[in-house]
Amino acid sequence: MLRSCTAALRTLRALRGRREGASPAARDPVLARRWFSTEKVIPKDHALPNPSWSKDLRLLFDQFMKKCEDGSWERLPSYKNSKLVKEQLSQAQLFTRGYEDGLGFEYVIFYNDDEKRTVCLFQGGPYLQGVPGFLHGGAIATMIDAAVGMCAAIPGGIVMTANLNINFKRISAPFRWDSLCHRRAGIIW
């Protein structure tokens, strides 16, 4: 999906920035000039723990952060908007980041470049309900689409979801998605 490309490009820029030790604005002079002079807009990275995260989610997060220490895994940052500059006309925000902490999608995606694999840790909040007490199948589909899309977009470039086929095995509590790219993605129309 093109959204995967957009998200992936943002993530790749952020990853390269972190590796090179520079902030996105410092590397992009045009971007730096457009920031308000009296206000430094630092986009919030939502793929970090907050008080709504359960113990299980934090535990898994810590386990994967340990795996990142040797460089084999990368934590993918996640921002609400596709732009770092305020746009008065656009109210758009990334679908999966449009909720207050703990109410919607709480997730973080880790990527392994050698294995071309992503792992998504996901905790669904009370605004994602389907059958009372359980997560909506569509919310799960959204999360799978996001994680698998990221897996395809980072190595593959521009991708678009052509088919999303989900067999539900059990009704959900917080869970972890493990997706593996089996083949190179291309533009599919």
Instruction: Based on the shown chain and the rule CB under 8 A, indicate whether residue 52 belongs to the binding site for another protein.
Output: no
The interface region with another protein, picked from 36-44, 69-77, 86-94, 115-123 by CB under 8 A, is 86-94
Q: Terminus-to-terminus CA distance in the chain, angstroms?
A: 10
Residues across the chain = 189
Spell out, one character per residue from 150 to 189, where the chain touches another protein: x when CB under 8 A holds, - when not.
----------xxxxxxxxxxxx-x----------------
Q: How many CB atoms lie within 10 A of CB 30?
A: 8
Helix H or strand E segment including 64? helix 55-68
CA pseudo-torsion sign 46, 52, 54, 58: positive
**Total interface residues for another protein by CB under 8 A:** 49
CB 80 within 8 A of CB 74: no
In the block, tokens 């990142």 appear at: 68
Residues within window 107-136 making contact with another protein, judged by CB under 8 A: 126-134, 136
The interface region with another protein, picked from 32-40, 42-50, 58-66, 92-100 by CB under 8 A, is 92-100
Residues that bind another protein (CB under 8 A): 1-3, 5-6, 82, 90-96, 98-99, 103-104, 126-134, 136-139, 141-143, 145-146, 149, 160-171, 173
